[in-house]
Amino acid sequence: MIINKITLKNHKLFKNLSLTFDKINIIKGDNGVGKSTILKSIIFATHGEGSGSNLQRLISFGEKSTEVTSEITINNENYRIIRKVPTELSIYKNDKEINYNTSTLKQQWINGQIGDYEFFKKYRLINKQAINLLDLGITPLRKSIMDFVNTQSIIIRQSLLAKKLERETFNVNKRWYTFHLSTKKQTLLETGLLKLQEDLTSAKNDYEEQHKIVGDYKSEIDSRKKIIYYKEQDNKKINEGICPVLKIKCEKITSKNKVPNLDITKEVNIIKGEIEEITNLLKSENDCLQHCSNQYEFMQKRVQRTKEYLMKLNETQKFAAYKYTKEDIQLFSDSVKTWDSFSGWYIQTWLDNLTYIINDLLKEMDLAVSFSADKQFLTIINEGKENEYNDLSSGQQVFLNVVFKLAILLNNGIADGIVIIDEGINDLKLNNMLKLLEILKTLPFQVFLVYQNIPEIKDVNVIELERKMNQSYIKVENKINE
């Protein structure tokens, strides 16, 4: 990523300011002219971070809003990012707006292109508010570096485990059935399954219809048995001299009438005959019901077996694309074990490479570092003698912090983007500042820094600011002695 230009409107001390940038950009000017504001406006442009959490402080006094427009190149594509306070974010690619529903989604898109703010603050920002790794102390420094390198190691290990799992899942030796894949057989089975399902539906309907017939016969028998029961009860009441209709004693029913009523007896015998006839029919219908039930059950089993067979054929098709053997699985199992034994060497090699990069960048300062697995972890050599970090001068600390972050980026193959160096850089003596600039020129990063007393040097874009009537302006903006 390269920032080509930034435009500020009503942004703190700047009413209307446009700045173009080169690879190395130095901002200078008296105290209070807004040097740090320029650097912070770059962070605001890319990540939406302002003065603390209160973005209203970015608005110039007496104004209602502020706007920061940045023109950025990412992977040879031109983008324009416009941020406003009150909060509004717009992104344009080659003058065509990139639309997302919310500002959060837009910021996620930006982070995907240039990295999130936490990574930026940790590895691309050097100032008093940033995370300067060497200022944290040995234990946090060790954890921070180990977390960084272990993350790379964990990603590799998880990738190996994922490939191992894929081969375990689609291992041909895992199949518990054995038959060959046949597209013709599968087509015949699918066609046959449709016919079987039709036959199953027909068998189900026959069974349900026959079940209803049997149920109707049983209901008729039950109703006739109830009629017989009530008529026998009436006959019993007549024998006791009770009128079956009025339910009371009746004088007309004499003792000579206390014999079974012949009409009722005749009716009961007729109904019993009907029950016998229905029972005979029911026996035949039950046999038919049993046949329908057997046929329905048989069709259910045929449909189920056909479905299972089709399922196995479908599974076979899946395995046809993944013909992993036990040897394939073993290969990745061994790879994981190899990586576990190799990871210690990988970490040490990563630290050795980091040491080499840092020391190469520090060679003009007569400083050197080394890492070890012991409690000390980091050793600093200053003019041939071991030193504690706190024993270094403030300028040496600044120089080492800058180099340390740049070396971590380079050691992880990060070869683009911006680096911002703000408060504290003026602790560097001029000769050391010039050494740092020569280093920065050789690296693939775009650099923004504040340094007050910069002399005329080649290939450095100097922006000098001045303040008049509570507003800041560009006093000088040129590339010196190009």
pLDDT, tens digit, 9 for 90 and up, residues 365-409: 888 988 876 667 888 888 888 888 888 888 888 888 888 888 988
Assigned domain for 448 exists: yes
Whole-number pLDDT of residue 246: 61
**Domain check: are 380 and 476 in the same one?**
no
The predicted pLDDT at position 384 comes to: 80
Whether residue 411 contacts residue 349, with contact meaning beta carbons closer than 8 Å, is answered with no
Q: Give the CATH number for residue 94.
A: 3.40.50.300
Residue 442 lies in a domain: yes
Give Cα 268 to chain centroid, integer Å: 82
pLDDT of residue 481: 36
Of the chain, the end-to-end C-alpha distance in Å amounts to: 23
3-state secondary structure of 415: coil
Q: What's the pLDDT score for residue 172?
A: 65
Please list the residues that pair with 79 across neighbouring strands: 72, 93
Looking at the whole model, is its pTM more than 0.85? Answer: no
**Which of 291, 323, 355 delimits the end of a domain?**
323
Q: Are 153 and 188 found together in one domain?
A: no
User: In terms of domains, do 117 and 5 share one?
Assistant: yes
Amino acid identity of residue 463, one-letter, is I
> Do 257 and 386 have their domain in common?
no
Residues 73, 79: Cα–Cα separation, whole Å: 6
Task: Please identify, among 294, 323, 352, the residue that sits at the C-terminal boundary of a domain.
Answer: 323
Mark which of 323, 342, 366 sits at the end of a domain: 323
Residues 299 and 202 in one domain: yes
- What is the spatial distance between Cα 56 and Cα 86, in angstroms, rounded to a whole number? 7
Residue 285 lies in a domain: yes
Q: Is 107 inside a domain boundary?
A: yes
**Residue 353 DSSP SS3:** helix
Q: Contacts by 157-163 with C-beta closer than 8 Å and gap 24+?
A: 157/336, 157/339, 157/340, 157/343, 160/332, 160/335, 160/336, 160/339, 161/336, 163/332
Statement to judge: residues 405 and 466 lie in one domain: no
What is the rounded CA–CA span in Å between residue 250 and residue 244? 10
Q: 10 with 117, same domain?
A: yes
Task: List 97's β-bridge partners, or say none.
Answer: 92
Task: Say whether both 443 and 475 belong to one domain.
Answer: yes
Q: Long-range CB contacts (< 8 A, 24+ apart) of 193-201? A: 193/303, 193/306, 193/307, 193/310, 196/299, 196/302, 196/303, 196/306, 197/303, 199/299, 200/296, 200/299, 200/300, 200/302, 200/303
Nearest-angstrom CA–CA distance, 420 and 429: 19
Q: Is 89 in contact with 83 (CB distance < 8 Å)?
A: yes
**Per-residue CA distances from 87 to 46, 99, 100, 120, 245 (Å):** 14, 16, 15, 22, 95
pLDDT at 243: 66
Show the domain range for 257: 183-323
Is residue 131 one of the residues assigned to a domain?
A: no
Does residue 265 sit in the same domain as residue 283? yes
Question: By the 8 A CB rule, do 134 and 141 touch?
Answer: yes
Determine, yes or no, domain membership for 40.
yes
Considering its fold, how many domains does the chain have in total? Answer: 3
CATH number at residue 167: 3.40.50
Same domain, 4 and 109: yes
Q: Is 178 among the domain residues?
A: no
Which tokens belong to 435?
A: 């050494």
Averaged in consecutive runs of 10 residues, what is the pLDDT profile of the chain (482 residues)?
A: 91 90 90 88 84 74 89 89 88 87 86 85 76 74 76 81 82 57 75 88 91 90 88 76 64 52 79 88 89 91 87 70 76 85 80 90 86 78 84 83 88 87 77 88 91 79 87 66 36
Domain membership of residue 389 (yes or no) is yes
Is residue 120 located within the same domain as residue 22?
yes
Q: Smallest Cα–Cα separation from 466: which of 150, 32, 27, 33?
A: 33
160 and 113 fall within a common domain: no
Question: How far apart are the C-alpha atoms of 227 and 215, rounded to whole Å?
Answer: 19
